[in-house]
């Protein structure tokens, strides 16, 4: 177990490596590995565990009745998923959680995390507070996606998302966690329409790109 890595995540923020070593057994951790495109949690399933990506990354995707899917979010190493459903026993998932690449995940029992254990660990309150903060940040991210997709203009949707990424990375040169199809799904766009618009924006001198790396330019 990489305690240094865990100490740098938002869930364990404020806890030292020694603190984590003490509290981790209380959380009933379970490590699993997944191949690219393997489903980690599927629509209709219930869960009582929180997942944290250790290596790789996962996509949150909704699959329609006709088989077409749409990506609603990406979870990077150090981030968690499934906490909303774990907090509501019996609530069925409305989405699939899929490995975006070869991925390692550690699962924690939700009830064990938010309940003071018999050993009266002093760390659970800190974990609960961290969990609340994570939920608040995710709500803000969800609001961001609504902003990105509110415009009818393809260029405005692309500009909104890439501008946010530049701000997050504090640089006009950055990489995004999506390939073209995934970005199109995230922005509720047709892939060919997205690719055409990116080419037009490059021709207009607004940006340059290679695969998932972008450079924004001012004209």
Cα separations in angstroms, 88 against 52, 112, 186: 18, 14, 26
DSSP notation for 3-21: HHHHHTSSTTTT--HHHHH
H helix and E strand count, the chain: 8, 11
**Percent of residues, the chain, with pLDDT higher than 90:** 78
* Model confidence at 119: pLDDT above 70: no
Would you state the structure tokens that stand for residue 126, as one six-digit string? 């800190």
Query: What single DSSP character describes residue 65?
Result: T
Cα separations in angstroms, 216 against 19, 68, 113: 43, 31, 42
Q: Return residue ranges of the chain for CATH 2.60.120.10.
A: 3-139
Q: Return mean pLDDT, the chain.
A: 92
Q: In 10 A of CB 180, how many CB atoms?
A: 15
**Percent of residues, the chain, with pLDDT higher than 70:** 98
* Residue 194: predicted pLDDT: 97
* Residue 177: predicted pLDDT: 87
* Residue 219: predicted pLDDT: 75
Q: What are the residues whose beta carbons fall under 8 Å from the beta carbon of 87, sequence distance 6 or more?
A: 110
Scanning the structure block, which residue is given the tokens 């190493």? 77
> What pTM was estimated for this model as a whole?
0.73
* Residue 183: predicted pLDDT: 93
Q: Please tell me the distance from the alpha carbon of residue 38 to that of residue 131, in angstroms, as a whole number.
A: 26
Q: Beta strands of 94-145 (E only): which ranges?
A: 96-99, 103-109
* Residue 138: predicted pLDDT: 87
At 182, the pLDDT band (50, 70, 90 cuts) reads confident
* Model confidence at 66: pLDDT above 90: no
At 120, the pLDDT band (50, 70, 90 cuts) reads low
H/E stretch holding 41: strand 39-41
Q: Please tell me the distance from the alpha carbon of residue 215 to that of residue 160, in angstroms, as a whole number.
A: 14
Q: Return residue ranges of the chain for CATH 1.10.10.10.
A: 149-216
Q: Please tell me the distance from the alpha carbon of residue 198 to that of residue 193, in angstroms, as a whole number.
A: 9
Which residue in 183, 190, 185, 188 sits closest to 209, CA to CA?
183
Average pLDDT over residues 164-192: 93
Q: Please tell me the distance from the alpha carbon of residue 148 to that of residue 151, in angstroms, as a whole number.
A: 7
Output 219 or 76, whichever has higher pLDDT: 76
At 213, the pLDDT band (50, 70, 90 cuts) reads very high
CATH architecture of 149-216: Orthogonal Bundle (1.10)
- For residue 157, how far is the Cα from the chain centroid? 20
Output 131 or 186, whichever has higher pLDDT: 131
* Residue 211: predicted pLDDT: 92
* Residue 170: predicted pLDDT: 96
* Model confidence at 214: pLDDT above 90: yes
Q: What is the CATH number of domain 3-139?
A: 2.60.120.10
* Model confidence at 141: pLDDT above 90: no
């Amino acid at each position: 177990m990489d305690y240094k890595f865990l100490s740098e995540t938002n869930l364990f923020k404020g806890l030292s490596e020694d603190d984590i070593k003490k509290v981790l057994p209380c959380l009933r951790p379970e490590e699993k590995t997944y191949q690219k495109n393997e489903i980690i949690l599927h629509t209709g399933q219930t869960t009582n565990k929180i997942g944290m990506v250790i290596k790789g990354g996962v996509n949150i995707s909704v699959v329609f009745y006709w088989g077409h899917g749409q990506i609603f979010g990406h979870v990077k190493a150090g981030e968690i998923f499934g906490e909303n459903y774990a907090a509501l026993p019996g609530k069925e998932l409305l989405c699939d959680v899929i490995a975006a690449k070869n991925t390692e995940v550690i699962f924690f029992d939700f009830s064990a995390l938010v309940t003071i254990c018999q050993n009266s660990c002093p760390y659970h309150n800190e974990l609960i507070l961290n969990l609340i903060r994570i939920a608040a940040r995710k709500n803000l991210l969800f609001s961001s996606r609504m902003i990105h997709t509110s415009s009818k203009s393809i260029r405005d949707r692309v500009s909104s998302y890439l501008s946010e990424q530049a701000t997050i990375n504090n640089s006009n040169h950055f990489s995004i966690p999506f390939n073209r199809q995934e970005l199109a799904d995230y922005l509720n766009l047709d892939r060919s329409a997205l690719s055409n618009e990116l080419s037009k924006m490059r021709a207009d001198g607004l940006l340059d790109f290679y695969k998932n790396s972008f450079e924004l330019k001012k004209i």
